[in-house]
Amino acid sequence: MLIGRIGYGIRIVQVSSGGGLVRVAHSLFLTSNGRVMSCGTGQYGALGHGYDAAKQLPDILRPQYIEALSRVRVTCISAGELHSAAVTSDGDVYTWGDGFCGQLGHGDKRPQMLPKVVESGGLEDECVTVVSCGSRHTLAVTEDGEVFSWGLGHFGVLGRSFTPFEYDADAAVVGLDDLADGFGELAIAHDEPAQPAAEPVEQDPEAAQRADIQANLDFINNISLDDSSNQCYPVVIESLQTVKIVGASSGHRHSLLLDEDGGVYACGSGRSGCLGIGDYESQMFPVRISEFVDQNVRIFKISAGADISMAVSTSGQAYSWGAMKGGRIGLGMENSTTNCPCRVHIKDDNGLPLKAVDVDCGYVHSLIVGLNGTVHICGGVGIDGANDGQTADDGDDAETSGRPRAIPDFNIWHRVPEPKEYVVKQKYKKYGKYEVKGRAKMLAKKD
């Protein structure tokens, strides 16, 4: 709970949490008067506070206002893995943080320690209403219903054809696999025919280590910060120009888009079935999820996480699809996947069905907000080695194991009064014109 120090009468109207790498995380807060605060890891500049007096990027433990955005009124914020973005009331987009994959949209791969307005790719002439930061890409929706995308284009997360970066493609894919950290491998197509496996040859460990170091140096030397590829600046998704898009959500390596009629489009990696189109294939261009069309379901909230997706319909029904391991999408503890949207049921304190109003997906967990303000968690996060969610051996039966659980004593609709320091004041009883303390001193003097 955020306590004080944000100003009298100021309320938090939107929050966004980023990160995902080990010990790297940051959070953004949007206040009712359009100011933005941030806290967390400052290593990559995603907090937007710039360097301190010692030319360092310190971690911020308590939310602090971003002074570089003090002259604009912000209406939307989004935190990615290592970068952040904000939309102003004038429709401008500001980005800051790590830009190694062009996810800042400034036409290069340079980092930005302070918020900088995106003026490349024609976005400066558009009025943006929604922005969403993913792992290494960004989506922006304009008031006209167009979608612009930029950043790392692998897996098809940009929803369009893109020009590769200016360094060796194979080396880029190898680096990307290292960053994926267990989220799967990207196949590389080679023109040469496959050669038969050779007999294993013993190699000097020191020589192998020197070769690895040299390969990494060659990879770094081939990287150009001044990259001219169209992944480094906003480009409109042309295949959706006949559809008016009103919402977007960037995941780890897939993207979800929402149109004005409640239809959902997905593109990117199909691993774990997170696209929801009935298979596990990747899609370079947005594909409409037919399951919602067949069931005549209109969606108004979407969220994309790490190989998981969730949505809420206009009738208050929650849906999820993708990786099911650990109960992360509320469909049970099975170590499997689902490639089609499935209903997720939440209940109130009396065990009665409860409608949902919002969802949010993370890396290994997700949240569902009920109509009565309760928050239900799916999966487990873990804090300091202690799992605060669900495990396979938590003792629950098959009906409740891996299902959404309401967070106790927490309700987003209820305003909690700001706690104040309790000071015990000493009071004295009066007898006539003397207080007890004063009378005792007077009697002591007479004795």
pLDDT in tens, 157-195: 999 999 988 754 444 444 444 434 443 333 333 333 433
Q: Is the pLDDT of residue 398 over 80?
A: no
Would you say residue 421 lies in a domain?
Answer: no
The C-alpha angle with vertex 39 and arms to 34 and 41, in degrees rounded to 5, equals 140
Single pTM value for the model: 0.78
Least confident interval from 60-64, 226-230, 361-365: 226-230
Q: If pLDDT is split at 50, 70 and 90, which confidence band does 370 have?
A: very high
Residues 6+ apart with CB under 8 A from 308: 251, 272, 274, 320, 321, 322, 323, 328, 329, 361, 366
pLDDT confidence of 358, banded at 50, 70, 90?
A: very high
Q: Which of 223, 220, 313, 307 is nearest to 262 (CA)?
A: 313
* Residue 81 C-alpha from the chain's centroid: 7
pLDDT bracket for residue 226 (50, 70, 90) = confident
Pairing of the two strands 299-304 and 308-313:
antiparallel
Per-residue CA distances from 413 to 360, 375, 393, 416 (Å)? 17, 10, 33, 9
Q: Residue 34: what pLDDT?
A: 95
In 3D space, the residue among 106, 97, 113, 119 whose CA is nearest the CA of residue 19 turns out to be 97
pLDDT exceeds cutoff 70 at 19: yes
Per-residue pLDDT band at 391 (split at 50, 70, 90): low
Residue 128: inside a domain: yes
pLDDT, average across residues 329-334: 89
User: Would you say residue 435 has pLDDT above 90?
Assistant: no
Arithmetic mean of pLDDT, 60-76 = 95
User: Does 418 fall in a domain?
Assistant: no
Q: Return phi, psi of residue 327, to 5°.
A: 70, 25
Q: Which of the residue ranges 163-167, 194-198, 300-304, 334-338 would you say has the lowest mean pLDDT? A: 194-198
Per-residue pLDDT, averaged over 317-322, amounts to 96
Q: Does any domain span residue 222?
A: no
- Which residues sit opposite 267 in a β-bridge? 255
pLDDT category of residue 204 using cuts at 50, 70 and 90: low
Decide if 220 is inside a domain: no
40 vs 193 pLDDT, higher one: 40
Instruction: Lowest mean pLDDT of 75-84, 239-248, 311-320, 429-438, name the range.
Output: 429-438
pLDDT at 192: 37
Q: What is the dihedral of CA 19, 377, 324, 389, to 10 degrees?
A: 80
Q: Which residues constitute the domain of residue 150?
A: 12-162+228-411
Burial class (CB in 10 A: 0-12, 13-18, 19+), 318: buried
Section 382-407 average pLDDT: 62
What's the confidence (pLDDT) of residue 332?
87
> How confident is the model over 238-262, as a mean pLDDT?
96
| pLDDT confidence of residue 2 | 57
CATH number at residue 399: 2.130.10.30
Number of domains comprising the chain: 1
Is 426 a member of any domain?
no
> Domain for residue 136, yes or no?
yes
In this prediction, residue 94 carries a pLDDT of 98
Q: What are phi and psi of 290, to 5 degrees?
A: -75, -20
Residue 140 covered by a domain: yes
pLDDT of residue 340 exceeding 70, the answer is yes
Q: Around 169, how many Cα atoms within 13 Å sit in the side-chain half-sphere?
A: 10
Instruction: Give me the chain's average pLDDT, please.
Output: 82
Give pLDDT, residue 215: 60
Q: What percent of the chain has pLDDT over 90?
A: 59
Phi, psi of 218 (to 5 degrees): -65, -40
pLDDT in the model for residue 181: 44
pLDDT at position 349 is 86
